Structure 1
């Protein structure tokens, strides 16, 4: 049982573990955040650059159509024509596409710093293993992605229906509408639809990022055995040493709080020190079940009060016991007499009517 508990991944990851994950390319990544950035950038492009893009392309195409009868398409003239059209298209669309590219990169950078790792794309047998493929197919991540996609589809459909339904009668007349009037209407409608989708995706992206972070954090957790091995391999790294010390203190505190109700008496300073002792008939000597200073001493006093455990103020004895006895150990022989007097006083108090 002790070995199983040491192998359970219950401990927070060390900085070394996080650095290794970053080197492997194992980072928090939500595709929904990237989608939100790209959709937001597309909406911004449509809002700001649609007029200038359409004017630039219209001017180019107007000249092409107006002089179509003079354009040569034989021999090398045709490739030159395509080259000219391509250059004009690139000139009109370069800035919007650059913004979309920046948005795609920004969607990754807000989640984690740039990582250059080829481990994720390196060939592995597990990637072509049918058994591994089945595990991935029915994993929690796959089910979450399916549920997320289904929710997105339903929400987008509802949003689009809510926005398009009031405009249904106007669509009938668009067939005979002049293009000069039609294009502004389409732009306004497209902006309205994209704005609604961006707002909806913001909620989805935030929820998905939280889910992906929790999944990633669970993957990085370590067992106590892994922490010990890492400490051994790093030859006493001060960060690992501090982490292990902190873990031991937390475990010790939890054990003391769990054992405190067994105490027979709590000896205090009265505020700076508190030592809880357990004594039952047949014991060779009282055992320390909890001890602490300052805030921990106050917590011990509070729990003692909740469990009706007698609290005896004896500053010299409290300081001496705190300095010489460890939790779960019997008190030293030099304190037998003083502790015996305290325990005798407590037992006498309990036999007294109205005593604790």
Structure 2
């Protein structure tokens, strides 16, 4: 019987997990968001053609004015530098009156479309120079990737459907187009303008529908691209919580510093109560500042030995009281006042110590 060996590490690298909030924030900071360019195009076209529909009469009047002035006045001007400048200046101002509002609506529409999709986002990361962008191999992969195939299908679909819709609008108005040659200039401009707006609005509505589908696909593709492997989740957790080895070293350093501060308080104690070897508790009492004695240091075994050594070096009285030492160790922490239940026993010890100090 033969056995197939599997490398479990390979499975841990598969990106099957949903992205964490931290991963999403990092992706957004880099400008990586779910966004569809078709949404921008569809909204801009729809709003621009709606705007054209509303200000059509205004634009028609200006265009007719340009037509009349050109063939009534400008055509009789002599070709001189001064006349050319006057004609160009006049036509530029009138053309700007038509084009400027449309450009403004298009700009506002583009900003609004982006804001609807991703909110406010400013990132310079996509503008940075990256060598992989000019890597031929990476470029070949992008060209022949599944995403490129999807984009190709989308483009063909959009061109086909938009072409069909515009053709349908023209076909429904074919009688007007046939009689266009018999219409006056004013009538021809009105007919062409109306047909243009009808085709634009019809194509825009169709593109809105396609843009919704594309946004859903872009959302799905984005979620897939930022998926994380189980190892990625572990690494992120380590970064957020800190490496266990480093954390243990920090805690050890903190314990050492706390121990050092505690040992510095031992010389200020009034008495050390011991077990006699396993426990040691250092007590301090100031009648003017404290309501009850406080524990300034405590420890067992090695720490208790260090407390006794410091106390001996600083001539601090050491009293052996096994039950009291054990009770104080179990019921108090460093900086705590002595519990009320132990007041009497501690008071007797302190009174004994004070008497010894007087004798000394």
Q: Partner residue of 1:68?
A: 74
| Correspondences of 1:211-226 after superposition (within 5 Å) | 211-226=217-232
Q: Is the 8 A contact 2:46 2:205 kept in 1?
A: no
TM-score, normalized by length of structure 2?
0.60
Q: Partner residue of 1:122?
A: 128
Residues 47/125 of structure 1: CA separation in 2 closer, same or farther (3 Å cut)? same
Q: Partner residue of 1:31?
A: 37
2:58 to 42, 52, 63: 52
2:201 to 195, 199, 202: 195
2 CA distance for matches of 1:57 and 1:179? 11
Single out whichever of 223-232 and 116-125 deviates more from structure 2: 116-125
| Correspondences of 1:322-337 after superposition (within 5 Å) | none
Q: CA deviation at 1:70?
A: 6.7
Single out whichever of 23-32 and 160-169 deviates more from structure 2: 160-169
Q: Partner residue of 2:25?
A: 19
Corresponding position: 1:86 with 2:70: no
Q: CA deviation at 1:84?
A: 3.5
Q: CA deviation at 1:174?
A: 1.3
1 CA distance for matches of 2:191 and 2:97? 26
| Correspondences of 1:126-145 after superposition (within 5 Å) | 126-145=132-151
| Correspondences of 1:241-260 after superposition (within 5 Å) | none
Higher gyration radius (CA): 2
**Unaligned segments of structure 2, at least 5 residues:** 1-6, 244-360
Q: Partner residue of 1:185?
A: 191
Q: Partner residue of 1:343?
A: none
Residues 2/100 of structure 1: CA separation in 2 closer, same or farther (3 Å cut)? same
Q: Is the 8 A contact 1:32 1:201 kept in 2?
A: yes
2:161 to 150, 155, 161: 155
Q: Partner residue of 1:104?
A: 110
Q: CA deviation at 1:158?
A: 2.4
Q: CA deviation at 1:71?
A: 4.6
Q: Partner residue of 2:340?
A: none
Q: CA deviation at 1:13?
A: 1.0
Q: Is the 8 A contact 2:50 2:201 kept in 1?
A: no
Q: CA deviation at 1:210?
A: 0.5
Q: How many residues align?
A: 237
Q: Is the 8 A contact 2:74 2:87 kept in 1?
A: no
**Unaligned segments of structure 1, at least 5 residues:** 238-356
Q: CA deviation at 1:20?
A: 1.0
Q: Is the 8 A contact 1:49 1:96 kept in 2?
A: no
TM-score, normalized by length of structure 1?
0.61
